[in-house]
Structure 1
Amino acid sequence: MNERVDGRRGEFAIEIRSLTKRFSRFALEDVTLNVKQGYITGLVGANGAGKSTLIKAMLGMSVPLAGEVRLFGEPLAGKEDALKERIGYVADDSHFYEHLSIGAMKSVYAPFYRKWDERLFRRYLERFELSPKATIRSLSKGMKMKLALAFALSHQAELLIMDEPTAGLDPVFRRELLDILAELMLDERQTILFSTHITTDLDRIADYIAFLHQGKLAFHESKEEVFDRYAIVRGDLSLLDADVRRLFVGIRESSVGFEALTSNRMEAERLLAEYARIERASLEDIMYLTAKGVPAHG
């Protein structure tokens, strides 16, 4: 994890306390999450895990059944306008007026922000090769994402919230976007919450990982702690007695053996190092095998 020396380290850009939101077929249940200032936190989970629902609650776009959201130490309720001026939001779907030109959209957008920086906006347009005269509907998905980023960064936002920003983008632009985010983090006051189900994006840039699974927070740890604690175990089916099964968060069995996820790498190595292959788990492994679960046996 990148250790940044900053007088504001240890403070939280986002504090979520016991947040609950229920729908007819899905619920976020008792989610508590603190996002540290000055770092990139990756919010991961399968599609439908509740990532967008949680982000909407953070931004006051959805009212929870229970719980509290605080931004920069202030309760969101009653202070939304002031707090949102300090936030840049980038979503997978474009929320701009498609029939407008970029310049016309800027004239609508900029007056909402007292710290709007026109020179910075023009610099981002130039960097991203976006013409102010281009209509938004004429832009590709990748160019719309660049435009959303230009808008989000041009009012000096301290917190950048990105909801599935790389979904549907080609690998070249995904890499470029991650490079831009890495540059932003050179400013130690900047904080990024990056929601995605494409976990390889976070392998490169995230400091912390928060994993949502079926509406609950499975863990929130530094990336290094996650990779130290979790491991993939591969071995013969004959190893899978009841005690060994208890080691695992998820198991995939086949005719040639098993592949399993443990959240206690040290214990797995103690018991199985002589009999099975134990390897570092990727974030994708953790998501996939957590979803598989441990089937009832015997």
Structure 2
Amino acid sequence: MELHQLQILRELGALGSVTAVADALRVTPSAVSQHLAALQRGFRTPLTRRAGRNLVLTAAGEVLASAGAEAIDAMAAARTAVEDFEDAETGAVSLSGFHSAGQALFGSLLHELRGGSAPQVLLTDEDVAQSEFPALTSRYDLVLAHRMEHSSPWPVDGVRVLPLIREPLDVAVATSHPLAGRASVQPQDVAGERWVTSRVGYSPDDVLRAIAAVAHRPVDVRHRINDYGAVSAVIADGEAVGMLPRYTARSADDERIVRIPLEGVSTHRMIDVLARPENLRRRSVRTVVDSLRRVLSALAS
């Protein structure tokens, strides 16, 4: 028993003939008859009977048509409720961000969305490897994710990708370091340094492995730290050099650090929003995405 079959039964009771039902629903009379026959197969009691040349409802058909009208009304109410939910400006929107994005964006995003008609944003941070970001869309409405520009694209099955910004990673050294005055560096210039980098599977380690490949020598990794604030402290102390995102990694140690563009290898990472397609139907979710774009644009400028 399907909803459109109940609708046909209801219209037959109201209009009194298969031809009239077909005209009202803009289908063929044979299609109406086929649907009524399919509906009848689910019941032992006849739902329709012949009255001259017309097909009319039996008492059982009238009972089912009445109950079907209630089901049709309930479905219409449910559809309207979903449409109202999707069109609402307010409402809670859950957003997950990786650590550096959270530190750089969350405060400004909340300021951007302050107001009575703005969505309520529920923030959390998830420090995961690149391959694990898409799975987070099952838990959050929006997922801030990053991947290196040269890496495999995000999967498209069941996930929408909204690009936000292309962010370079720079070599970072202490202000006292011999390279601090350079306008740019090559892999050969920094491959022999002591390094602080991320764990394997994260953007800085990807760049460091590219440096080693281009320079044709292994790099000396002394520390593996994922928090950019801690990385900045190690760099500022002069203990090691590292890679820092240009826009989304700022700390109290920035005055003791010099960031230098790295040439000769790909250093850009893509910061994107990942989401389930159905979540992006909601106006409140799209509002948060628009605000994220404005906040990141201001940060990059």
TM-score by length of 2: 0.21
Structure with the larger helix share: 2
Higher fraction of strand? 1
Please say which structure displays the higher CA radius of gyration. Answer: 2
TM-score (norm: length of structure 1): 0.21
